[in-house]
A and B are shown apart, each in its own frame.
Chain A
Amino acid sequence: MKQQTFEAERSERWQRFEQLLEILDRGAHDTTGEFPSLFRQLCQDLSLARDRMFTEDLVTRLNRLALKGHEHLYASRVPPRSAVLEFAARGFPRAVRQEGPLVLALSGLFFGSLGLCAAAVVTWPELAPSFLGSDSLTQLREMYGEDLARRPSDDLQMFGFYIWNNVSIAFRMFAGGLLVGIGSLIALLYAARLEIEVRTAGLFVRIAPFQRKFRHVPAEELRGADIQSARLRVRRGWRIYAVKGAKAVQLRTTTGHQMLIGTQEPDLLAAALLR
């Protein structure tokens, strides 16, 4: 069969298919029900045109039509539920219900003892140190005791900051995992930050997220603070807390420990410490 005859016989059908594609492109439905059979015929025509070595132009045209048809036919109208969602919606509840008595008993143990402790501490506050240890108690008091007068706008501010900062870090770590974890390591190093807090109980420093606990220098041990902003001189035995920059505050303490704390704003930190 010559190309001329081939085209003449089928061009009407291809046109119909093209019109259908336009309808589908607009988001409407194929009311004629012809779409699948027209698509199959088009695929046959494409194979035939290639096999017969018909002109490049015709093959390209048919290929484009078939591609668009393929896109519409195999597009998932409703996104398939992913395995994770399926597990959250069905699998997990089913597993919990299967092990019902066990889950109930364990929850009873966990929440029951928690409730008992809470009740005990509320009734007899002097019991608190035996549950938490005095260090954690001091920290808790520092965290919640002083500035109760936080405004709601601050909360919203911090909410936004945590989403921007922390979730972004999480996403970057996730992406970095692709390079056998090296990418994550880079993201982690970039995420590192020195957290310095000066409270009435003294100075608290940690390098997040590598250190979970703050290093605490009690206020009564603090003797003084010197700003070191030119060239840092580091000696053996010093404790150094720094992530970036060459400015720091050097602490003098009664215990004789030397501590160097890197900061972008040495003046502010020194002033806060000397108060």
Chain B
Amino acid sequence: VIDTLHTVETPEGVELELPVAGPVVRLLAWLIDLAVQVVLYGAWSWIMSALGRVDEGATGLLLIGVFLITWFYGVGWEVLNRGRTPGKQLLGLQAVREDGTPIGIGASILRNFLRVVDWLPYCYALGLLSMLIDSSFRRLGDLAAGTLVTYAPRVSTPARLPEVEPSAPRIALEPDERRAVIAFAERAPLLSDARADELASIAAPLLPTPTRDARHQLAQIAAWLVGLRSGDSAR
């Protein structure tokens, strides 16, 4: 399967697959964060201008606030909110270390400060270039800090096979063929009827009765392959 996955080998000796996030979704997350930052700037300058009527030193506090928002917005969120700024959280992303563990303060500072370089010469051009070259969509800041932006793992509801009477395939199937048949049976309800029939018809010549409803027969074979036998209730 060709997919944007970053593989990590854990001490348990198993390979975990991290689904890395591409440039577009990360740009959207960045835009959301930018909007949040603009609101923060606005709120802070509003408070400080109110204070400014009392004390002229408020300009100094204003600048310190602007400094903190500019440089530590990303770091603060990522360290305290498990690698998620508001933009990342809304789009289901998170920044993690390359080994899949949560990001620390050092890595977060490095990847956020190096935005300056990724921005060069204008509008994240260098960062985009780096993301397009790197197989895990890392910008320069990510490469230096050893971090990734991935889709946060969500526990999904298991896909269900259609409830049909299981039946054995006519010929013995190779492992990847078995897998393809099961995957098709799981996904068929998500496809349009015409497309599902079209795909099923490819396998039709190998089915027990090639002339009849291929999709239904494939579902039956899939049920048999996962271990159901006639008489069992589907899982």
Contact = CB atoms under 8 A, between A and B. Distances in A.
Q: Do A and B bind each other?
A: yes
Interface of A: 2-5, 7-8, 18, 21, 39-40, 43-44, 46-47, 52-58, 60-61, 63-68, 70-71, 74-76, 79, 82, 151-161, 163-165, 167-168, 171-172, 174-176, 178-179, 183, 186-187
A186 B120 contact: yes
B227 interface: yes
Given A70-B10, A164-B64, A183 B113 contact: no
Interface stretch (B35-43, B101-109, B207-215): B101-109
A183 B144 CA distance: 15
12 contacts: A2-B226, A57-B186, A60-B156, A63-B17, A70-B8, A74-B100, A74-B101, A160-B62, A164-B66, A175-B116, A175-B117, A178-B140
Given A43-B14, A159-B60, A71 B102 contact: yes
A87 to B, nearest CB: 15
Interface residues of B, number: 57
Interface string B1-37: 1000000101011111110000000000000000000
B46 interface: no
Interface of B: 1, 8, 10, 12-18, 55-57, 59-64, 66-67, 70-71, 96, 99-102, 104-106, 113-117, 120, 140, 144, 153-156, 158-159, 175-176, 178-179, 182-183, 186, 225-228, 235
A47 B60 contact: no
Contact of A39 (B12, B56, B156, B228): B12
B158 A57 contact: yes
A161 B96 CA distance: 34
B227 A3 contact: yes
Nearest to A67: B153
B226 A176 contact: no
Contacts, number: 157
Nearest to B181: A55
B20 to A, nearest CB: 12
B14 A157 contact: no
B235 A4 contact: yes
Contacts of B186: 55-57
Contacts of A46: 14
A43 B12 contact: yes
Contacts of A8: 235
Nearest to B64: A160
B156 A53 contact: no
A63 B16 contact: yes
Contacts of B56: 151, 153-154, 157
A61 B156 contact: yes
A224 B1 CA distance: 79
Contacts of A63: 16-17
B203 to A, nearest CB: 17
